[in-house]
Chain A
């Protein structure tokens, strides 16, 4: 049994300690918002937060998360209202949508660390996330928008 906390909920997981968190989260905990894209930390579709850092869950083993705190897309906000989620909706970022959980989870760490990212900052932070539909232009614009919303929210 390995103890992990996912989106604030405590779980005792009975699984191979080498099982990547991706499959623990999807197949055992039933949270399917985190996606399988490559299994090799190349595409970012499986990005989650482990103790507040973005990690690729397809290559992060269950035992590394023992006793740790995980946040998935389902737990990013209570009402789909993280500034990034609001900006994504306002700017119609997703097409197929498959990579977008990972894009948003990567973007959330960027925004936490850098409240006003430049285009170059966005390129650097988001370079690990592939979007085959090619929504990059909108992702970039939506991150800028979310940053503005966050700053405005902080002023209120």
Chain B
């Protein structure tokens, strides 16, 4: 069966480049500004380091490399879908492999910022078209005919007048000796056969029969298993531990203390090594560890938000952006609002708990795991273990979700340190409790919005944010405004509103925090778009018309028209529970309309979500729809179901029984529309998330007159 044979081959790495093959890739010379397109035959690769982004063997086998992580967002499908289009091969005939971490070959590999397609599609199109032209030239030379009489299709070059054909495998030896042409012609969108088509994902079959290999599924010969007891309170240090009971657990082999490094901090743990995951977990339970965890008792959620509020009242903060004279306009204003919005700390809680396998040997380190940034891991491990980069191999498996968490470098460092200590391959599995309680988290942020309406028009918008900055991990963020203070806010507003300011009021707190799906747009979007809805009410105007007035950019206008059309906006009745929000995230704009109503028991329920996405050039519309559908569910959880809270420095949540998740019955119907245009590609994996919470709370306001400004809130209590 074709699907099975593809899936079995997925995990065979192209270990060497023995034999002749045509390989194309980009070379990223150190310190060079532009990558240089290179081609090489496998036999003649002297001097050049090249990546096998695509490799065609003499037997015609095509291997395409996914240089980014696959954590559900679809790179495993969309990267090959781009390459196959211009290369003229059938998707069913290709083998997809994951790249190892190697920024010199692939450029940035961090799967974040929704950047896989928008960051590389032009390069991938060009690369594939170049390979195709080289294969056509090789065929034309063999036949002694002009290349213009030949074309490529389904892995063959065909001579149009005679109907003669070669398959690509027969041409690679000759093609690999040619120089890549300088300027190749790319297809117009109307000529695409694969791109912009809702093709089924190549990784679906192996995700329905248990074949897909995630980090947790990695098995190495002689591999041991480790569980780590971690401090229940933030950054606790191991004072002492008693391992006598742990060592009596059958299967437990060794217990020792370990220090995990995270940027500029360290975290203590006590490691239990065993012959199975279960034995390691049992050994961990039997440990007695005394922690020195003083110094963090003061960390309490209520205090954090009180402090935010104080700061927002007292401090002007560090200016991030300013135009006009917002303070002057506010001083003169007669109709104004001044409100505070609060967003909670959140755990990523990917379904696959953190885990990683590693084998440290004196002359080589190899890692296998669910890794979002193999290039960062490569640099980090090379530096921390003083091992040359060419002796460090970072392998990506499939990721059981990531959402930003698996781009952190703590768990990858920890497993290598453990393998070094025991001199054997080992896999560390974090428990769900570790995953929930240890962070890092999306930081809880508070916002103050001040604005005024004069003669029915916005005269001023003044925003301040207070909260932890993600840069925290790289050192204190004092003195500099958070560069993401205005993230999520639509740029066309700057053209139509005279007085606008954004300021950041830094709030230092030793809680581990980092990016979470859609990063600051996920919290900023709630504050800024909720505020626009409040301004619309103050101006006595329809929320959608209000935005149409200020978002004069043509793409925004079309997006608003589409939102209005698909949701039946104009035929809705007053106070029927319709809400609106539009946010920008990673070069993509998404507008959502949420409709709520009261059910028979009087509880508010979500009837429908309409999402309209303008992401410019795109690859697979079905993957886009799936990403937006899923983003809405994740946003629903963060807005109405779960939050991480702290009490005396302890995280109060443990597992899915107290960090609750949206379930099947919570998921609203989501209808996704994609705007058709040829603008540059924007992100897809994250931008569907930010507009949901402000659109939902706006819908609740429309239905009930109750404006919700603090997340999460209880849907059953509104």
Contacts and interface: CB of A to CB of B under 8 A. Distances in A.
Contacts of B4: 79-80
Interface stretch (B21-29, B287-295, B631-639): B631-639
Contacts of A131: 351, 633
Contacts, number: 197
Q: How large, as a class, is the contact surface on chain B?
A: 35 or more
B15 to A, nearest CB: 23
A37 B211 CA distance: 17
Contact of B351 (A39, A80, A96, A122): A96
A27 B656 contact: no
B204 A122 contact: no
Contact of A27 (B250, B278, B626, B669): B278
Q: How large, as a class, is the contact surface on chain A?
A: 35 or more
Label chain B's interface by main secondary structure: loop
Identify which of B212, B214, B627, B664 gathers the most chain A CB atoms within 10 Å of its CB: B664
A108 to B, nearest CB: 12
Given A23-B276, A96-B72, A132-B634, A33 B351 contact: no
Contacts of A73: 208-210
Interface in A1-55: 15-16, 19-20, 23, 26-28, 30-40, 42-43, 45
Interface in B615-637: 622-623, 626-627, 629-634
Contacts of A59: none
A38 to B, nearest CB: 4
A126 B664 contact: yes
A88 to B, nearest CB: 5
A138 B217 contact: no
A94 to B, nearest CB: 4
Contacts of A27: 225, 276-278
Identify which of B399, B627, B655, B667 gathers the most chain A CB atoms within 10 Å of its CB: B667
Contacts of A35: 214, 216, 351-352, 400
Nearest to B402: A96
A34 B664 contact: no
Contacts of B656: 37-38, 40, 42-43, 130
B429 interface: yes
B352 A98 contact: yes
A20 B278 contact: yes
A33 B209 contact: yes
Interface of A: 15-16, 19-20, 23, 26-28, 30-40, 42-43, 45, 72-74, 76-77, 79-80, 84-85, 88-90, 92-101, 104, 122-123, 126-127, 129-140
21 contacts: A15-B276, A16-B250, A16-B279, A32-B219, A37-B432, A42-B655, A72-B210, A74-B209, A80-B3, A89-B204, A92-B204, A95-B74, A96-B351, A97-B204, A98-B350, A98-B400, A126-B664, A132-B403, A132-B661, A133-B633, A137-B667
